Amino acid sequence: MRLLDILYINTLRSLKLWLRFRVSFATSIVAMIANIAIFFFLGMAFGNAANSAVAIYGTTFFSFVLVGIAFNQYALMAVNDYLRIIRTAYFSNWMEILLSSRTMGYYLLSTIVWSFILTTFNLILYLVFGVFLFGANLIFPPNWWMIFVILFLTIISLSGIGLLGAAVFLRGAKGDLEPITWLTGIFAALVAGVYYPIEKLPAIVQTISKFLPHTYALRGVRLILLQGAGGGEIFSIIVYLALFSIVLFPLGYFLFIKSLKKAEREGTLVRWA
Amino acid sequence: MIKTTNLTKRYPLPGKMGFVTALNRVSLEIKEGEIYGLVGPNGAGKTTLLKTIAGLLIPEKGTVSVNGKDIIEDREQVRGSIEFLMSSGWIIFDYKLPLNFNLKYWGVMQGLGLNEAEKKAEEVLKLIGLGEYADASPENLSAGMRQKLNIARILLTEKPIYLLDEPTTGLDAVSANFTRNFIKKNLKKHDRTIIMATHNLWEAEELCDRIGILNKGKLLFSGTIAELKKKHGKKSLEQIFMKLVGGTEI
């Protein structure tokens, strides 16, 4: 019951804050459209060359990238938001209140839920703008259940990495850069196939990409949204994502809790003593 | 009862330059229902002591027990019995959202149900004299009103122990007077134990049953004001304080 109350009040608060900044909202929409337009024009500029690079997906370069950048937002959220929330709580002195009111876990969870809601909203906008303003070709209606399973496992597995990053922050890396989330972000952008098909990259890069859950998630949603693939074809992708989830989430969660308890014991969660 | 024994806490200086001692073997006992004032200059260790008692900072050496519970072994139980008014704690409120929503939010975060938090927010806003500003936002409040809002948050849940970190610092005479009266009339009742850090000697004299004088992490005195005056044989509290902390008398 307490969790539901906190989920409700934190979501309501976040929604009020989000709706308040109307100019910021409007500019984020403009930025989103501009981002989509960049890849639309790239697709136009390189024409057949760009389209032939993604021919194995049976679609155009623009549709391929649109799905990549839209769904990569979940990956960015899951990897970065735990650290962002913990860091904000630490630097804004919220941490002291959260600790003294014994609400840290609830706060973290409810804030992640809000991030998920916001990311889903952005994803829908990306796809709507891509399809209706720029003519992307997506299968509609897709297999929603398969997309849901892939997204769920993507968020769970990448939350493991996100929690690891937050754990590192709690253990003392309180500067601007946290290495785990930073490296994951760099590798994912380079080799997970957000902007180009990994099948066209050197073998070594393809091998590295196999160690990132992003790679499987993006391939899975592309198969569903661009080729209308069903359960059989993406079953192996789901198995890989499930394996990542089984390994990464418990590991991240365990180390995060351990670091939180250690930092509490050492009194390093509190600033300006 | 709150009891600290040989409490020691040091903070590392940047660049492995050694440590600064914030608390140096501080031992004191605070009785249930007592208002205890922590008096000392800036950097004396008052806030460190309050945060250590609250279980937010862990001592390097020594122990703290709250009603027989150790702050390390029984941290969750200890935290559940303490409310901490942080200096400038109003910064946790969103500056654009209405006061009643801000308080409802923190009420829920502190363990109240949604309806209960809404009711309690309304109640404490009236109690603290901000009832008519319930729909206003913190950005439209004066410093004194923001401090009232800060106090309102700690009243959302009933706790036996209140730690107040410089509750009147930065307030004008009227707001400071309101805060002092509020502490006397509302927090003191029901046998709540209050530890209050302050720079203000006459405020401590007016509010506190006993005081502790801290300087450079050391507890120089603990007792009543009368005992302090008797021990040092001077009329002015300020003169005694300056003598103890090594300041210069004007």
Residue B66 — φ and ψ, nearest 5°? -120, 115
Using pLDDT thresholds of 50, 70 and 90, give the confidence band for residue A5. Answer: very high
Q: Taking CA atoms, what residue in A is nearest to B44?
A: A273
- Given the cut 0.85, state whether the ipTM is greater than it: no
Which of chain B's residues have a Cβ under 8 Å away from the Cβ of A96? 51, 56, 84, 86
- Residue B25, by phi and psi: left (phi above 0), alpha (psi -120 to 50) or beta? left
pLDDT for A25 beyond 70: yes
Residue with tokens 């180009």: A196
Which of chain A's residues have a Cβ under 8 Å away from the Cβ of B118? none
Which of chain A's residues have a Cβ under 8 Å away from the Cβ of B72? 265
Q: Are B106 and A102 in contact (CB < 8 Å)? A: no
Q: Is residue A183 part of a domain?
A: yes
Which of chain B's residues have a Cβ under 8 Å away from the Cβ of A273? 11, 22, 47-48, 51, 57
pLDDT for A10 equals: 93
CB pairs under 8 A between A and B: 88
Write the pLDDT tens digit of every residue in A249-267.
Answer: 999 999 999 998 888 777 7
Q: Taking CA atoms, what residue in A is nearest to B115?
A: A5
Contact A155, A74 (CB under 8 A): yes
Residue with tokens 């014994």: A102
What's the total number of domains in chain A?
A: 1
Of the ranges A8-22, A222-236, B70-84, the best mean pLDDT one: A8-22
Q: In terms of DSSP bridges, do strands B69-70 and B218-223 run parallel, antiparallel, or are they unpaired?
A: unpaired
pLDDT for B250 equals: 45
> Which DSSP state fits A1?
-
Q: Taking CA atoms, what residue in A is nearest to B93?
A: A94
Chain B contact present for A16, CB below 8 A: yes
Q: Is residue A237 part of a domain?
A: yes
Say what the pTM is: 0.84
Q: Are A100 and B94 in contact (CB < 8 Å)? A: no
3-state secondary structure of B45: coil
Q: Are B91 and A266 in contact (CB < 8 Å)? A: no
Residue with tokens 């007792």: B223
Q: How far is B221 from chain A (nearest CA, A)?
A: 22
Chain A contact present for B3, CB below 8 A: no
Which B residues in the span 102-161 are in contact with A, Cβ-Cβ below 8 Å? 104-106, 108-111, 113-114, 117
Domains annotated for chain B, with CATH where assigned, are 2-247 (3.40.50.300)
Q: Are B92 and A92 in contact (CB < 8 Å)? A: yes
CA atoms of B248 and B250, how far apart (whole Å): 6
pLDDT for B248 equals: 56
3-state secondary structure of B74: coil
Q: Taking CA atoms, what residue in A is nearest to B50?
A: A273
pLDDT for A172 equals: 76
pLDDT for B114 equals: 95
Q: How far is A101 from chain B (nearest CA, A)?
A: 5
Write the pLDDT tens digit of every residue in A63-111.
Answer: 999 999 999 999 999 999 999 999 988 888 788 777 777 778 888 899 9
pLDDT for A272 equals: 56
Q: Is residue A245 part of a domain?
A: yes
Chain A contact present for B13, CB below 8 A: no
Chain B contact present for A8, CB below 8 A: yes
Provide, rounded to the nearest whole percent, the portion of chain A with pLDDT above 90. Answer: 63
Chain A contact present for B22, CB below 8 A: yes
Which of chain B's residues have a Cβ under 8 Å away from the Cβ of A17? 94, 96-97
Chain A contact present for B12, CB below 8 A: no
Whole-number CA gyration radius for chain B: 19
Q: Is residue A271 part of a domain?
A: no
Q: Is residue A68 part of a domain?
A: yes
Q: Is residue A25 part of a domain?
A: yes
Chain B contact present for A23, CB below 8 A: no
Contact B178, B163 (CB under 8 A): no
Of A9, A92, A93, the CB nearest to B114: A9
Element (H, E) at A70: helix A61-91
pLDDT for A263 equals: 84
Q: In terms of DSSP bridges, do strands B2-12 and B61-66 run parallel, antiparallel, or are they unpaired?
A: antiparallel
Q: Is residue A273 part of a domain?
A: no
Chain B contact present for A3, CB below 8 A: no
Q: Is residue A52 part of a domain?
A: yes
pLDDT for A176 equals: 66
Q: Are B83 and A100 in contact (CB < 8 Å)? A: yes
Which of chain B's residues have a Cβ under 8 Å away from the Cβ of A9? 104-105, 108-109, 114, 117
| Domain with A49 in it | 3-266
Contact B34, B193 (CB under 8 A): yes
Using pLDDT thresholds of 50, 70 and 90, give the confidence band for residue A175. Answer: low
Give the residues across from B180 on adjacent strands: none
User: ∠ CA A182-A183-A184 to the nearest 5 degrees?
Assistant: 90
Could you list the pLDDT tens digit for every one of the 250 residues in chain B? 899 999 999 887 777 778 888 899 999 999 999 999 999 988 899 999 999 998 888 888 999 999 899 988 888 888 888 988 887 788 889 888 999 999 999 999 888 999 999 999 999 999 888 999 999 999 988 888 888 898 899 889 888 999 999 988 877 888 888 888 888 887 777 778 999 999 888 889 889 999 999 999 999 999 998 898 888 876 688 888 888 887 655 4
